[in-house]
Amino acid sequence: GSRQARGVDRLAGVDLEYRGGSVFEFGGDWTVLAVDDRSEKPLLAMRPFGKGHVVIGARGLFGQKPDASDPINKAWVGPLLAELAETKPIDPGKPHRRTWVEHAREIGPLTLEYHDGTEPFADAIYQVYLEVRPHLEVITGCDPSPGMVKALLILPTGGGGFSSGARIAIGAWWGNYPEKRYPMVELIAHEAGHSWVLPHAEPLWNEPIATYLGILVGQRMGMPEADETLARQIAKGRRHDPDYDAIDPLSDGAPRDLIWGKSYLVFEALRREHGEDFLAKYFAAKRRLITKDREDYSMDDCVAVWSVALGTDLFPWFRSYAFDVDSSRTDIELDQGRS
């Protein structure tokens, strides 16, 4: 168990794992179930609500991976939730009712969607979006793909966001917002950035390129955290591949930090060599060459698009960074000039 967390009340004596992070302050109508060993601040608490209960817990009690592949504490989380749900009548013949957003209003070209609890954040986050978007348009040289970014959903969470293309969703207090602004700028640019790469997601670096867009926006807005984020990730990748020339990031089991660090390294090298508009050239070429009805978009295709965009055969250059790419595996002709 963790030395940093301790179960109390009905979790007294239960072995807890805790990855660190948020602590809470609760009123007297909450029953605290776990505390941080050092500060004695609550990490998990419950209270009755309607015919059931509400449970609030620190993210560090539930693993760190977005795909939930590290379900720490599952030995007691499941039984606890099942026990607390016993008092809530459930009709197995009644289908699950989806919970929609409570409020929506049109603001310019966007529908702003939020709940009662996120309303205080909604307008401020929308203003950040308005700051971010022009930078994305300059960096990419274009608007989002047709039909994208029509709604901005404010989520009642600090756990990040998601993008469905047409809708981007942003956690209301991601990165300790509003006390800290850079994480929110990066997140909004990241989620919106997914709407630029569609209809074909990027191979390998679909997530890294979205965060890289956020880093570039942060740099353009004069935020020192952007450079720090970039340098930190490239350094993490070097722990696995010091010169970034040994491990193929496309190989099975390639470490996450290696994939992200090498992606950033490649982007920065292309930026230095081909200028600040290198991504704008790429997006222009991708939209011209990769049609909506194309079956897939491979890394070989991607390097071919980069080659056309920048007017040079980049396959040998990518192979020097241990990418397993080959121009014979793509139908995109390299010798067709810049887009």
Query: Residue 95 carries which DSSP code?
Result: P
Confidence at residue 71, expressed as pLDDT on a 0 to 100 scale = 80
Closest CA to 302 of 276, 323, 321: 323
The Cα–Cα gap between 91 and 95 comes to: 8
Task: Tell me if 265 sits within 8 A of 244, measured CB to CB.
Answer: yes
Which H or E run includes 152?
strand 151-155
Q: What is the pLDDT of residue 33?
A: 93
Q: For residue 33, report the phi and psi dihedrals to the nearest 5 degrees.
A: -115, -20
pTM for the full predicted model: 0.77
Other Cβ atoms less than 10 A from the Cβ of 125: the count is 24
Contact (CB, 8 A) for 118 and 155: yes
Query: Which residues is 151 bridged to in the sheet?
Result: 111, 167
Give average pLDDT by consecutive 10-residue segment, the chain, 339 residues. Answer: 77 87 86 90 91 87 73 88 82 80 86 91 93 96 90 86 88 85 94 91 94 98 98 97 97 94 98 98 96 94 98 98 98 76
The pair of structure tokens assigned to 318 is: 């990518």
So what's the pLDDT on residue 68?
Answer: 67
Question: Domains in the chain, start-ordered, CATH in brackets?
Answer: 5-87 (no CATH), 103-197 (1.10.390.10), 223-329 (no CATH)
Q: Return the number of other C-beta atoms located less than 10 Å from residue 301's C-beta.
A: 21
